Amino acid sequence: MNTPDPEQRKLDIEEEKLRLARKGLRQDTFGKIVMPAVIVVLAAATYFGNTNMAERQHQLAIDVHKMQLRDKESQLGLRNEDAKAARNQRIQDFVRQEYQRITSDDPAVSQGAVAVAYAVFSDEPENTLVRAKISVLLADKQQRMAQQPTARQRADSELAVGQRQIVAGNFSLALRHLDTALTLDPSNPSSWNSKAYAQFRMKDGQGALSSISEAISLSPSDARLRRFVIINAAKILCSVGRTDDGLSYLNSGIAAIPNLAGEAREDKELTSTCNLISS
């Protein structure tokens, strides 16, 4: 039996130690360097992955919020439109209801209605809107008034029609036009004179007397009209049995208007009604 060489045994032992030392070094290297590095890489990947996810989630939240804001703005816009429509309707209804008062020919009535409108709709922008609508109404009224004939012009037109109907012998129709003329302009002595004559021809003595009295009281300045009024007054007084009054009034007129005598003698209706002898 061979006895192991002590020196060889030492070498073998040293080699085994070296191998174990290398193995431990590799393990330490893996544990202390490789594994941490791997962990760092994984951690970095996870971090950046999580960061990207967080950013994506944050951006998504922003986008959703923006969408919600747009939706709210849209809804708010609709509500504002509804509010504007309701406000405009209220103003329109008020102006329509108060139209006659706002456009009244009586300044006190018109100004009162406008003041009420401004008080009811005192908040902006309602006040601005109601002022604009009222301004349009008043401007339209002024334009229509400028385009339409005046009351005096319409009265003169009705008078002319009434006088033509008298000439045509349509006394009832003449009275309707003359009454319209007097409603439009009650201060026209010519209309009262023509009405008096139409009433005289329709045998309405009292009505004729009342109308001719109005014509006389207005003191017509036109010389021709004054002659007609005096002659008609004499006829009407005679027709109601007041012949003396009629002749007295006629003679007073002749004394003041010399050429009236000739017209009186030529008026056959006057001579027959007052039983005058024509010469």
Give the model confidence (pLDDT) of 125-137 as tens digits: 778 887 888 888 8
| Last residue within a domain, chosen from 84, 115, 147 | 147
120 and 171 housed in the same domain: no
Domain of 164, in residue numbers? 151-273
Q: For residue 70, is it within any domain?
A: no
119 and 197 housed in the same domain: no
| Last residue within a domain, chosen from 122, 147, 172 | 147
| Last residue within a domain, chosen from 147, 175, 203 | 147
Sign of CA dihedral 130, 133, 136, 137: negative
Kindly state the average pLDDT of the residues 81-98: 76
Of the pLDDT bands very low, low, confident and very high (cuts 50, 70, 90), residue 17 is low
246 and 170 housed in the same domain: yes
122 and 187 housed in the same domain: no
CA angle 99, 117, 107 (to 5 degrees): 60
112 and 161 housed in the same domain: no
155 and 140 housed in the same domain: no
117 and 159 housed in the same domain: no
Which residues lie closer than 8 Å to 215 by C-beta, 6 or more apart? 189, 190, 192, 193, 196, 229, 232, 233
Count of structural domains within the chain: 2
Kindly state the average pLDDT of the residues 237-245: 95
111 and 134 housed in the same domain: yes
Distance CA 275, CA 250 (A): 13
Residue 88 has pLDDT above 60, yes or no: yes
Q: For residue 239, is it within any domain?
A: yes
Higher-pLDDT residue of 38, 256? 256
